[in-house]
Amino acid sequence: MKTKVDVHDLRKGMFVSELDRPWLGTPFLFQGFEIQTDEEMQQLRALCQYVYVLSGDELASRTAHRTKPATAAPPAARIITKTTTAFAVTETSSREIPRSGMPPSRYTDLTPVEEELQQATEVERSARETIYSILDDARLGRSVDTPRARKVVGQMTESIIRNPDALVWLTHLKKKHEYTALHSLRVCVLALALGRHLGYSPEKLNILGIGALLHDIGKLHVPIEILDKPEALTREEFEIMKLHVPNGLKILENAEGIPPAALEVVGRHHERYNGNGYAFGLSSDGIGEFGLVSAIVDTYDAITSDRSYHLSLSAADALKIIYEGRQKAYHPGLTEQFIQCMGIFPIGSIVELSTGSIGVVITANRTRRLRPRVALILSPEKKPYTPANILDLMTVTHDASGKPIEIKNMLPSGTFGINPTDYIPIYHH
């Protein structure tokens, strides 16, 4: 039986089945969950006037296969831990990838993001030089400098392990005319961040990272007029575009030191969970773990980047699109894990607080995703803070009058003329 309940009458243990607003307009990723924390109740009260809760037989039916919201502190879930160099993605069963909940991570942040940005900036510069050099070599028919690629991916892996927010922040620095090279770099960063979140070993992260860094190398053989065409491709042009996958595999097949699993990223980042991708028409388990991971992060960066044929979307909008594509284009469990990894309020998001202030999310909180650090840009009266005020929602939970401080809304990219990259928490010497 479904009962309408005022949000102020909610209690822990109630099973929320329906809201008075669309689910996708809220931080809750899953439609239906049991209230287990005060934070969940606070969020519901901030977002809704009433909800519907289940009781009786219907509750028993739903809780038999209960789904928890993204905001809860979920139980450990089983993940893939196979880490040998010969790891074969094709042998991985997608059923082993957690559908929901937070996987047991082997990592904790070792350095604050402000400190890590010093090292991450140098790593990003080195990685940028490396990918340009590799692309130039491939363009001229020279072999890929695998040792250099492995070295820079190792440096990126070490930075991601110390604190992933630093390199993720640097992925926001985008230039449209450098899309192919820097897209490869950003996909590498995002893949490593998701792999860290899933608890991958450093060895496994390095293999994933090499594949991600080189995943689009085959685009060197795609005519520039197709790559940069400002409108939809014709059927013939799209067939040419799709050839970048087998062409990439051909470029790398003779490269020494490229792990077989890394090639899976190159060959399968355009495959889709329902079989509607390319270039080999694989689906579900047949795509393999690294292929499933790369499909998500490749799409995310493409959506959040300005291209000749579309303007970028915000991180939050991109996550909604990917979430809507779960079970169809993307593995449902990995989709949920990626959203957990990026945060309910992703780094760089423009947000409105319950106080009326406007800010930019600058770092995530990996234990309480609804309480990130925010750079406050505008006061409740929409007057600029100069300089921006840093508010840690983990430690500052109420305003001077005792009212809870929470994130009320995520705002579209560019709201109030705010450029999130202006607030990257660069370390000041």
Beta-carbon contacts of 142 under 8 Å, excluding residues fewer than 6 positions away, are none
Task: Give ∠ CA 162-163-167 in degrees, rounded to 5.
Answer: 115
Whole-Å CA distances, 254 to 87, 257, 286, 322, 385: 19, 9, 25, 34, 56
Q: Which domains occur in the chain, in start order?
A: 2-63 (no CATH), 89-342 (1.10.3210.10), 350-423 (no CATH)
Residue whose tokens read 């440096």: 155
Per the listing, tokens 């929320």 go with 16
Contacts of 73 (CB under 8 A, 6+ apart): 37, 102, 367
Going residue by residue through the chain (429 aa), what tens digit of pLDDT does each one get?
Answer: 788 999 889 998 888 888 887 665 566 655 678 888 877 888 788 778 889 898 755 555 444 444 444 333 332 222 222 222 222 333 333 345 554 455 556 788 899 888 898 899 999 999 999 999 999 988 888 889 999 999 999 999 999 999 999 999 888 776 655 666 789 999 999 999 999 999 999 999 999 999 999 999 999 899 989 988 888 889 999 999 999 999 999 999 878 889 999 999 999 999 999 999 999 999 998 999 999 999 999 999 999 887 766 777 888 888 889 999 988 999 999 998 998 888 878 888 899 999 999 999 988 877 777 788 899 999 999 999 988 888 999 889 888 888 899 888 888 878 898 888 888 775 443
What's the helix, strand, coil split of the chain in %, to 5?
A: 45, 10, 40
Closest CA to 267 of 241, 294, 285: 294
Of 123, 132, 105, 104, whose CA–CA distance to 169 is shortest? 123
Which two structure tokens, joined as six digits, stand for 69?
């919201």
**Residue 210: C-alpha distances to residues 129, 207, 396 (Å):** 15, 5, 40
Contact (Cβ atoms closer than 8 angstroms) between residue 158 and residue 164: no
Name the percent of the chain lying above pLDDT 90.
Answer: 42
Model confidence pLDDT, tens digit, residues 57-103: 555 544 444 444 433 333 222 222 222 222 233 333 334 555 445 55
* 8 A C-beta contact, residue 279 and residue 267: yes
